[in-house]
Amino acid sequence: MDLLFNELIHLLLSLLVGFIVWKIWGKPLASFLAALTAGFFVDTDHLIDYFLAFGLNFRLDYFLSGYHFLKSDKMYIIFHGWEYVIILLALVSIFRSKFLKSIFLALSLSLFFHLAFDSFSNEGLTPKSYSIIYRVENNFDLEKLVSKEHYQYHLRLKKENDFK
C-alpha cells in the first residue's frame, strides 16, 4: 500500500479517536495529542530500524521504500505492540483523573486502531507479527514474522537491490 495513503489513514484514525475521547471526558488537548502520539507518530520507530540497518547515512528514498527491512532482515518496530494497548487500557482503569484517563484511553485506542490497520493492510504480516513478545521469541527475524510468500518476495527484492 502507498506509504502516504497509509499515513493519511493513521492520521484520520488518530483524529477520530481524539474526538471520541474528548467527547467522553472533555479534555480536547490531551485527547488529541495522545491519540496522535500513539496512532500517527508511533511510526517514528521505523527510524530506529532504519538507523540500525544503515547507520547515520540517511536516504529518504531508502527509508520510504522500507529498504531497512531488506538490508537487515529484521523487524524491530519497538513501539508497535499489542502489549502496549493492554497496559494502557489497564492504566485507564487505575487512574481516577479524567485528564489521565483521557490520555491513556486515547493512547490505547489510537494504538489499537494503528496496529489493526497495519495488520490488515501490510501484506504478509499477521496480527501476531505486531506482538513484541512474538517478535522477541523469533529474534526479530523477518523470515519468521511474515508469510512464506512474502519472505520469498522480500528475498527477490533484496537481490534486485543488491542488499547483502
How much is the pLDDT for 44?
95
User: The whole model's pTM is what?
Assistant: 0.93
| CB-based contact 86:17 (threshold 8 Å) | no
How much is the pLDDT for 3?
80
Q: Could you read off the pLDDT of 91-150 as tens digits, one per residue?
A: 999 999 999 999 999 999 999 999 999 999 998 899 999 999 999 999 999 999 999 999
Q: Could you read off the pLDDT of 4-56 as tens digits, one per residue?
A: 899 999 999 999 999 999 999 899 999 999 999 999 999 999 999 999 999 99
How much is the pLDDT for 161?
82
| Count of structural domains within the chain | 1
Cell numbers representing residue 62 in the block: 531508502
Alpha-helix residue ranges (DSSP H) falling in 26-97: 28-39, 45-54, 60-65, 67-72, 82-94
DSSP 91-110: HHHH---HHHHHHHHHHHHH
- The range of the structural domain enclosing residue 138 comes to 3-160
